[in-house]
Amino acid sequence: MSNQTFQTLKELPIPLDQTQCVPHKHELIICGGLNQRGCYSYHTLRNEYKIICKYPSDVTLNGHCVVKLVDNNKDKNDITLLSFGGYYKHTLVMKYVSVWSNTSNKSNESNEFNNYNEWIPLTDNHNHPIVIGRGHDDYHGMRAVIGGINNHFVFDLNTFQFIKHHTLPTDNPIWHHCFVSNSENGKGQEMIKTNKQNYRMLLFCKYTGLSIEYDEDNNIFQFHQLPVCKDIAPFNKYAYICINDAILFLGGHYYKDNNSIFSKS
């Protein structure tokens, strides 16, 4: 690719590594990074950043995951983000109202929304904190997608319980990987429904490639091996984006040994 393929945008307010980003209309919501608690909104039309908030001081970020919860009401001004996992597990939610809109300023003056644009603990109906992940689970560099008839598998956010556990059929460690829905219309983190009860996802991490199908009615996972392009096979920690029926991989790290780290661009 020539240098003209890429357009230089405004620099990040702070250096970020292992950050998590969520698209929202004309915004890219940037949610912290390795040992960085700041959260920002990047406006794609204005080419500008605004601070949203910071993660709580008692939260250490190292390989966390952020997803946008599905809401069928497209006219709502707010969205809900879920942040969880990482080497030091946390489970937090944020009700986000755009920092670029008048709604955010008016709500701030009238206190219409409590705890909006800040991370607060996920709690149950009795205000007890909920932690996604068992004590022995390693959620460093985890990834997640949302799907199902009620957008609740395989952790039900209504009952706060796991619906299914399964081990991936690979001997390779899976972390900082690519995990997307097999969607043909760019729905992002929402999984595509392949028939009456089945949903399909794709996973890539170094030499591992998997097509994962979940049968919601019978609560069963099925896995199929996929070939991995040799140019990216040694890598993980790449950025990725699913556009129509293609996945674009950007960058990545290759750990040859304990003393060598290679970066692909």
In the predicted structure, residue 82 carries a pLDDT above the cut 60: yes
- The answer to whether residue 148 is domain-embedded is no
Verify cis geometry, omega within 30 degrees of 0, for the bond prior to 59: no
Residue 221: closest CA among 206, 201, 205: 201
Residues 128 and 1 in one domain: yes
- The answer to whether residue 195 is domain-embedded is yes
Q: What residues make up the domain containing 229? A: 166-265
Residues 194 and 125 in one domain: no
pLDDT value, residue 188: 45
Residues 42 and 33: beta-carbon distance below 8 Å: no
Predicted model pTM: 0.85
Residues 227 and 265 in one domain: yes
Residues 35 and 62: beta-carbon distance below 8 Å: yes
Place of tokens 């406006």: 43
Residues 82 and 124 in one domain: yes
- The answer to whether residue 185 is domain-embedded is yes
Burial class (CB in 10 A: 0-12, 13-18, 19+), 204: buried
Backbone angles phi, psi at 110, to 5 degrees: -95, -5
pLDDT value, residue 140: 95
Work out whether the CA dihedral 226, 227, 230, 231 comes out positive or negative.
negative
pLDDT tens digits, one per residue of 184-208 = 444 444 455 555 578 899 999 999 9
- The answer to whether residue 256 is domain-embedded is yes
